[in-house]
Each structure stands twice: as structure tokens, then as C-alpha cells.
Amino acid sequence: MKRFSLLSPRAGAAFITPAGLLVGAFVIVPFFWVIYVSFTNRTLLGRTALNPEFVGLANYLELFSPHRFLDPGQFGFSLVLTIQFVLFSALLGQAALGMALAWLLQQVPKPVKAMTETVVIGAWILPEVVIGFAWFAFLDYDGGTLNGMLDAVGLPRGDWLLDYPFWVIVVFNTWRGTAFSMMLFNSAFASIPPSYFQAADVAGASSWQKFRDIGLPLIRGHVVTDLILITMWTFNVFTPFLLTKGGPGNQTEVLSIYTYRVAFRDFDFGKGAAVGVVVMLINLAFALFYLWVARKRTPGGAA
């Protein structure tokens, strides 16, 4: 097949060079740099700052050292915490809630639907810092909106950030990300011919039957895509730091925050890099699984 192009190869190369240099400098070089650093004992200060030594797998062995693996503040603790975080805030929170909302949106009048979409999108496009501050203000013990509301109806106030830090970040991340799942499922439902649901209506199907028998099976591909994407995002999300800074203690130190602490607070670059590499491998596994699933469902055409 003949290929048509707007530009000569030389002009094309000239246009792509700046972007290529940037990607090289800020993505590709750090990628290999991190792998290299993870095999050294490099630190920010002291003797090993300038002359790091090659330490082999020492950093990795330390991460996975069996007798402290699950202690608070250790890699294993953060890994388990992150898995719980993903389970509750991504799968149960964002995906399930997003699905429920998307399905409900199919059966409400158009103006209600449009308004809900606008509000939800609003939550989705706000900058992280703004949201972090808003939630901080919402949950604050003394002047927080939530406690103010509880006072108003005569319920006891709570020190949410101190007493329930894990559930705070779960609710926060659910609130933050449900919009994405909802919009994705919403447009997936919208792509199903309306006559499918009308035929089911005439046949006498309830809303739940329509969801189970028609809606869900026909958007299965979108559900898989969504689950994998939000799992990866939640796995790497750093925003909970704005609320709890990983604390109190290490109670909300998910992997991204753990990595940050090791590398940029303890200044143990070597160990931090090793964590980064492990997280990268986990993400790679997710990505490969995603590509495999995506490829598997394309030839059938029944997305």
C-alpha cells in the first residue's frame, strides 16, 4: 500500500526531535537510571552520595526480608495496604458505584442526567491540590464541614483523619475517581441500541434483569478496560498524601507514599529506586494483562 505523507521524512524528523529529546531526557533516561540506582547504595548526603557502591541485590533483599516484611513502615505493609486500598476504593468504590450510577442515569429524565453528568465531571476535572484541601477542610476536627453538619443534627463529631485514616483515603479516592468509571460505563450503555432495552421492557424485564442479562454482558469489554485502568491508577495514586501524609504513623502509607518517604525523606535513593522498580514490574504485569485481554476481545468484535 502506498503511504501518503504531508511532510518529507527530513521535515518530519525535525518536528519530532524536540519531543523526542524531552521524552528521552525525562522518561527513558530516568527509567534506566532508576534500574541502575536500585543496585547501588546511593544516598543524598554522606560518603555514598558521590561515590555510590554497587551492592547487588541488597536493596531488594532488604525490601523482602521475611522477618520484618509486614511491619508498619516496611515494604510488605505498604503493599498489603495498597492492595486493600485498591480493593475498596477502586473496585468496590469507583467501579461498583460508577456502574450503579451509570445504570441509574439510563433511566432518569434527560435534564437530571445532564445535570448529574456536569456535577460529576466537575469533581473529576478539579486539580488534585484543590480537592485535597477541600477534603481537609471538610474533615477537620475543629472547623470541618462534616463535624459542623453532625453538630447541626445532634450527632457526635469525630476526628476522622486521626481515627479512621484508611477509610478517609478510601472514601476520598472513591469520590475522586467514580466520575471516570461512571462516564465510561455511561457512554458504553449509550452505545447499546435502545431497541434492546425496549424489547426487554415489552417482554416484562425488570431493571435488574435488563442490567444482568443485557446491559452488563454487552459492556463487558468496557468493564475490563475500566477495572484495569483504575486499578493501575489507584495503585500509583499519590493524592492521599495531601490528606494524611501517610500517617498517622504508617497507617495510610500506600506504596507511592512509601516510595516517596524512602527516597526523598530518608534520602535512601538506592532503596527507593528498588521500590520503584518493583512497583514498575507490578504495573507492567497489569499492563500486559490489559493488553492480553484487549487483544482477546477484539477479533470477536463483541465488545
Residues that bind another protein in the complex, under the rule CB under 8 A: 193, 195-196, 198-206, 209, 213-214, 217-218, 302
Cβ count near 188 (within 10 Å): 21
- Select 128 or 213, whichever has its Cβ closest to another protein: 213
In sequence order, the β-bridge partners of residue 116 are none
**Nearest approach, Cβ of residue 289 and another protein (Å):** 23
Least distance from another protein to the Cβ atom of residue 206, Å = 7
For residues 189 and 258, which CB has a smaller minimum distance to another protein in the complex? 189
Contacts of 173 (CB under 8 A, 6+ apart): 85, 89, 90, 93, 94, 234, 237, 239, 240
Residue 290 C-beta: closest distance to another protein, Å: 22
Largest CA distance in the chain: 78
- Of 171 and 200, nearer to another protein (C-beta) is 200
Closest CA to 184 of 232, 223, 211, 240: 223
Shortest distance, position 200 Cβ to another protein, whole Å: 7
Rounded distance between C-alpha atoms, residue 53 and residue 36, angstroms: 11
Tally of CA atoms within 13 A in the half-sphere of 199 that contains its CB? 8
Q: What grid cell was written down for 27?
A: 522518561
Nearer of residues 146 and 214 to another protein, judged by Cβ: 214
Please state the closest distance from residue 195 (CB atom) to another protein, in A.
Answer: 4
Question: Closer CB to another protein, residue 205 or residue 232?
Answer: 205
